[in-house]
Chain A
Amino acid sequence: TQLLEQSPQFLSIQEGENLTVYCNSSSVFSSLQWYRQEPGEGPVLLVTVVTGGEVKKLKRLTFQFGDARKDSSLHITAAQPGDTGLYLCAGTTNAGNNRKLIWGLGTSLAVNP
């Protein structure tokens, strides 16, 4: 069974701090997607990483896909209260026409003003 483990599970920081959250697996994924979910809403895609070693930046957010395509990280610089939410990673496989995403349980981030 393919699993994605996210850490830490919970994180509470002050505005302006930097943080990194992780998404790890023993399985290889063809791509990883990162979503953010705010209370009362569904997850919204932030980025998709496809190539091993790939780094993508979205303003203050930096996403990296591991060289072996088994893990990924999300780094936030100078966190703001608007970054508060549940960060979910989800992996895709090359298995035929399978459209299932393998989801992590998420990192719940609270940024305090």
Chain B
Amino acid sequence: DAGVIQSPRHEVTEMGQEVTLRCKPISGHDYLFWYRQTMMRGLELLIYFNNNVPIDDSGMPEDRFSAKMPNASFSTLKIQPSEPRDSAVYFCASSFSRGGMGGRNQPQHFGDGTRLSIL
């Protein structure tokens, strides 16, 4: 089975431009997570979805960030307008809710990330 697929792998753009990151979760997974990783702050959860519905977006830094999940096999994270401080590696992860404790101990399966550089 294919894992979580993210695109693009690398993105370099100038500040002020719109950036769109894409994610295809593992088929059958009902949870999708967007993370940002930096050396200073580690992995930060931005937002997560359950059955395509946003559950918690408290980690989204500001209104410049938005995320959508129009169907079970696709999600986007947009930054508009982008700023240099948004430079980071952005990960998408998915998991499923079967198993004990409502699947709370199920692993999160990560994509290989998008390395974003805003000049």
Contacts and interface: CB of A to CB of B under 8 A. Distances in A.
Interface of A: 30-31, 33, 40-45, 48, 50, 88, 92, 94, 97-101, 103-106
Interface residues of B, number: 24
Given A30-B101, A42-B4, A105-B42, A100 B110 contact: no
Contacts of A33: 105, 107
Interface string B55-66: 110000000000
Nearest to B107: A45
What DSSP secondary structure best describes chain A's contact surface? loop
Contact of B91 (A42, A99, A101, A105): A42
Contacts of B25: none
A42 B107 contact: no
B108 A45 contact: yes
